[in-house]
Amino acid sequence: MKKSIKLFSSALTAAALVASAVSMSLPLHADNPTIQTSYTPDPAPMVYDGVFYFYTGNDAPGSSFYTMTDWQCFSSTDMQNWENHGSVLSYTDFEWADPDSCWAAQCIERDGKFYLYVTLTTSLYGGGRAIGVAVADSPTGPFKDAIGKPLCGPNWTYIDPTVFIDDDGQAYLYFGNPTLYWVKLKKNMIETEGEPQAFEMTAEQFGKSENPESSCLYTEGPWIYKRDGIYYMVYAASGIPETIDYATSDSPTGPWKYGGRIMDNCPTSFTIHPGIIEYDGRAYFTYHTGDLEGGGGFTRSGAIEEFSFKSDGSIPHIEATSEGPQQLRWFNPYKKTRASTMCSQQGIKLERGENGLYATKCSNGDYIKIAGVNFAADATEFYADVSAIRSGGAVELRLDSPDGELVGTLSVPECTEDQDWQSLSCSVKGASGVHDLYMVFTSEGTAGYVNMDSWSFDGEYTDADFSDQVVSSKKGGISGKAIAAAAAVAAAGAAAAIIAVRSRKKKKAD
């Protein structure tokens, strides 16, 4: 009898979890722009040790030019929830750099070191734009100037570096507007072999321009990528407003053959900056728009789209969307998570503390959204390091919307300092299966606010609940048929268990 009841209970639990998953809108997609707490122009992706890193510039709010003080870094393992690592490098880290001149950059790893190639302006060495290089022991920094001077330049056409290491170990650096240059890097990644060489800017290599003053479509923002023996040079094209086009070659130094247009111009930003990378068996295209609130041509934000290479290796036309890529795996709420991790937010500001970035000045109605959270069988407790300034406050735990089902409320008593962290907890009831989590902040006084440094849940779960990849590797995510089939199996198991229990009861009565 006990065995039948156990089977019955397990089957019902499975059915409940599947039903919860079915209730979600699958596949789940992130919001574009990808990051919503700051402007993130010129995004450059990097994959390292199973993590997708997203390096960007930092447009100043309300700017009327490319006023950029530093470079930021974000990371994700599910392509929907992103941890903000904040500023990892600034013009102040280069003694030779002019202020507010932190243009496009790209990071690459070699032999356990991380090299960030950046665009800066300098008044020294004759003046102009220049390519600098910084190095760190971690993908999130801190980075420092590797050589104390420009790597290439100054030259007003030297902007937008892109770098890669070929299969034979040779590293190459490319950059330039309106001419595209290339140069080999030594194995130490901080010295060049010879002087930069200019490609021949022809229509055959980079597309025919309708502008009689331009020899080809290439404008700026190159991105080098290699796949299946094909070298791809992706770039901003067509002048202003920019499009994204590409060329291919069987050699990293050309000649190139024009491949076509990847993305049309963005209505909200006259520039657009490309990147391509593969992660977890999928291909991703990165770019920027002016779609974030307050955004425009000088306040741009990075975005991501998933795509598939065609069978012949060519790149299809990609549409910019507001949805972005789908979630790769459910979020684990039972591990400690920094409050600077989120899918989207309302009213959240971040500041750097002793442990990293934390959410600050969170008041009535502000929230952090974590997408696709797998609470598994049952979440029972919520923990957070928090503080409340000028008055008490609370963190409401809601499912699927800012005013969704309330499953817990963490009360936060008043304290005197922003980082006077209190480790508090509250009970949780009704959180099981997969849901979007909204942590909604409230404060008792009009001038009061809540800060959050980190959080986690406790409850009933197993490691299998967070297996490597829960969303189908095929575009489109978990199919409705697959979910229905799983639900049917679970329901059938439950029915079988009920029959078994009834059968045993009947035999006992006989």
Per the CB < 8 A criterion, the answer to whether 169 and 175 are in contact is: no
DSSP 338-355: ETTEESEEES-EEEEETT
How far apart are alpha carbons 196 and 372 in whole angstroms?
47
Tokens of 212: 């009689």
Q: Which residue has the tokens 């309330």?
A: 406
Q: What are phi and psi of 439, to 5 degrees?
A: -95, 105
Strand 301-307 vs strand 282-289: parallel, antiparallel, or unpaired?
antiparallel
DSSP 93: G
What beta strand segments (E) does 393-433 contain? 393-399, 405-412, 414-415, 422-431
Helix (H), strand (E), coil (C) string for 103-123: EEEEEEEECCEEEEEEEEEEC
The 3-state DSSP class for residue 486 equals: helix
What's the residue count for the chain?
Answer: 510
Q: List the catalytic residue out of 78, 83, 93, 220.
A: 220
Other C-beta atoms closer than 10 Å to the C-beta of 98 total 14
Residue 221 to residues 44, 177, 236, 318, 450: CA-CA distances in angstroms?
A: 11, 8, 5, 18, 41
Q: Burial letters for 121-146: b for 16+ Cβ neighbours within 10 Å, e otherwise?
A: bbeeeeebbbbbbbbbeebbbebebb
Selecting among 42, 305, 306, 453, the annotated active-site residue is 42
3-state SS assignment for residue 470:
coil
- How is residue 67 written in tokens? 């006023």
Asked if omega into 274 is within 30° of 0 (cis), the reply is no
Q: What is the DSSP letter of 97?
A: P
Residue 42 a catalytic site member = yes
Pairing mode, if any, of strands 275-279 and 257-263? unpaired
Beta strands 301-307 and 128-136: pairing type?
Answer: unpaired
Q: What single DSSP character describes residue 212?
A: T
Angstrom distance (rounded) from CA 399 to CA 101: 43
Cα–Cα distance measured from residue 172 to residue 187, given in angstroms and rounded to the nearest whole number: 10
Residues 6+ apart with CB under 8 A from 253: 172, 182, 197
> Which residues are catalytic, by number?
42, 220
